[in-house]
Amino acid sequence: MANTSQKIGFLAPWRNMLLWKQIVIALVLGVITGVLLHATGNQAIAGMIKNIGTLFLSLIKMLIVPLIFVSLVCGMTSVSDMARMGRIGLKAIVFYLGTTAFAITIGLALGLLMQPGAGIDLSAAAAMEPKTSPPFIQQLIGIVPKNPVAAAADGNVLQIIFFAIMFGLAINLVGDAGKPVREFFEALNSVVLKLTEIVISFAPYGVFALMAWVAGTYGLDLLLPLGTVIAALYIGCILHALFVYGGLVSVFARLSPVRFFQGIIEPQIVAFTSTSSSGTLPVTMTAVQQNLGVNRSVASFTLPLGATINMDGTAMYQGVAALFVAQAFGIELGMSEYVTIILTSTLASIGTAGVPGAGLVMLSLVLTSVGLPLEGVAIIAGIDRILDMARTSLNVTGDAACTVLIAKSEDQIDLEAYDTPHVLKTPDVSRA
C-alpha cells in the first residue's frame, strides 16, 4: 500500500498539469527520442513506437462520425430561428473562402520572395502517377448521400454534415412531435462529449509516439536539401495565423488575440502531430467551448464545416509548392497563372478531405491547371509529412478563429470564460 501511495504521489504533478503543458513536454521528448534513434540507426524502434500514436489516432478517428453527426443535430435543434442558422452558415462560408484566398496569396508571395526552387534541378525526378480530384460540380453533387449509413461507414464528412443538417432541420420543423428525438440527441451528445474527454486524456502519449516516429524516420537529413520550401511554408503559416487570424479576432471581434492562441494550443499541437483536421475536431470542439467560452450551438456547426472546407494551410502549401516546381523546372508564370492558382486552390479546398496526405491530391490538380510538370509532386511528396504538420495546424487555427468571430457577432460567447486563464486539464479517467 505504501509503495502504491508513493507512486500515485510521484505522478500527481503530471496528472494535475494542464493538458497543453503535458502535450508540449511529450512533443519535445518525442523529437529528442526520435533524433537519437535516427542517429543510432534504430529507425525500426521508431516504427514500433509509432504504434502507440496509431492507436491514439484510431481512438480520435473513432469519434469523428458520432461527434460530427450528434453535435450538428444538436446544434441545429438548439437554434429555432432558421434565419439565424442561415446567417451563421453564410458568415462561415465567407470567412473560410476569404481567408483561403488570402492564404494562397501569401504562399505565392513567399514563393516569389524566397525562391525555394532556385538551384534545384528536377529534370531527373522520377515520374509519378498523380492522384486526381473529381470535377468541382461532381463534388458538389456528391454532397448528398445516397445512403447515410454508407456515408457514415466510409467517413464521408461532407455527406455526414449534409444529412445531419437536414435531420436537425426536420426535427425543428416537425414541432412538438420532435421533442423526444431532440432530448435523445441532447443526452447522446453528453455521452459523446464524455467519451471525447476520455480519449483526449491520452493525447500526450499519442503526440510523443508520433513525433518520435517522424524524427526517428526522417531525422535531419531530409530537411536540409528542401529546407527553403519547408521554411517558406512554416513562415507563411505563422504570419497568416498571427496577422490574419489574430488581426480578425482583435479588430472585428474586439477580443484578445493572445487569449485566443492560448485557448487553442491543444488542438494546434494535436493537429501538428496527427496532420488531420478532421481527426483533431474533438479536441478543437472541447478547447473552443471550454477555453474560449463559445456557445455549443455555434461551435457544433462551424467547426465540423471548417474541418471539411477550410484548408488555409493546404491552400498556402499549393502556392509555395507551385512556385517551387515552376522555378525548379525554369518555367515562368504570368499574372493569369497566379490568378488561376489562387482560384483553383480556393475552390479545390472545399472538396479536399481533412486527412493526412490530401494536399498531394490538391497539388496535382493545381499544377495541372497551370500546365506545370506533375513530376514535381514526386519531390514534394518526400517532405509532405513535414509540410502537412504546419498546414494542418493552420487549418485548425482558422476553424477556431472563424468560430470565435461568429460567436462574438451572434452574442454567443461567454466573455468571462474567454478572458479566464487556461482551464482545460487532463480528464480524470479513473472517475470518468
pLDDT of residue 241: 95
Mean pLDDT for 342-350 is 68
Phi then psi dihedrals of residue 220, to 5 deg: -100, -10
What pLDDT, on a 0 to 100 scale, did the predictor assign at position 223? 52
> CA-CA distance, 160 to 281, in Å (whole number)?
14
Find all residues with CB under 8 Å of 114, minimum gap 6, and list them. Answer: 228, 231, 232
Please check the confidence at residue 429 and state whether its pLDDT lies above 50. Answer: no
Q: 49-75: string of b/e by CB count within 10 Å (b at 16+)?
A: bbebbeebbebbbebbbbbbbbbbbbb
Is 48 part of any domain?
yes
- pLDDT higher at 171 or 127: 171
Residue 431 within a domain: no
Higher model confidence: residue 231 or residue 211?
A: 231
pLDDT digits (tens, 9 = 90+) for 187-196: 888 888 788 7
Looking up cell 465567407, which residue turns up?
Answer: 94
pLDDT at 430: 43
Query: Is residue 11 situated within a structural domain?
Result: no
Domain containing residue 98: CATH number: 1.10.3860.10
Q: CA distances (Å), 278 to each of 56, 271, 292, 352, in order?
A: 14, 9, 20, 11
| Cα separations in angstroms, 403 against 28, 89, 210, 281 | 29, 11, 28, 13
Q: What is the predicted pLDDT for the residue at 243?
A: 94
Which pTM was predicted?
0.69
Lowest mean pLDDT among 221-225, 313-317, 392-396: 221-225
> What average pLDDT score do residues 199-213 get?
81
Q: What is the pLDDT of residue 20?
A: 66
381 belongs to a structural domain: yes
Q: Which residues contact 146 (CB under 8 A, 6 or more apart)?
A: none
pLDDT at 80: 61
Amino acid, single-letter form, for residue 263: G
- The type of residue at 410 is E
Structural domain for 94, as ranges: 17-424
Rounded to an integer, the average pLDDT of 256-278 is 88
Confidence of residue 361 (pLDDT cuts 50, 70, 90): low
Give me 361's grid cell: 491530391
Residue 316 belongs to some domain of the structure: yes
Q: What's residue 393's pLDDT?
A: 93
> Residue 8 falls within a domain, yes or no?
no
Q: Is residue 153 part of a domain?
A: yes
Q: By three-state DSSP, how is residue 112 classified?
A: helix
Q: How many domains does the chain have?
A: 1
Mean pLDDT of the chain: 78
Residues 6 or more apart whose Cβ sits within 8 Å of residue 87: 410
For 209-229, the DSSP string reads: HHHHHHHHHHTTTTTTTTHHH
118 in a structural domain: yes
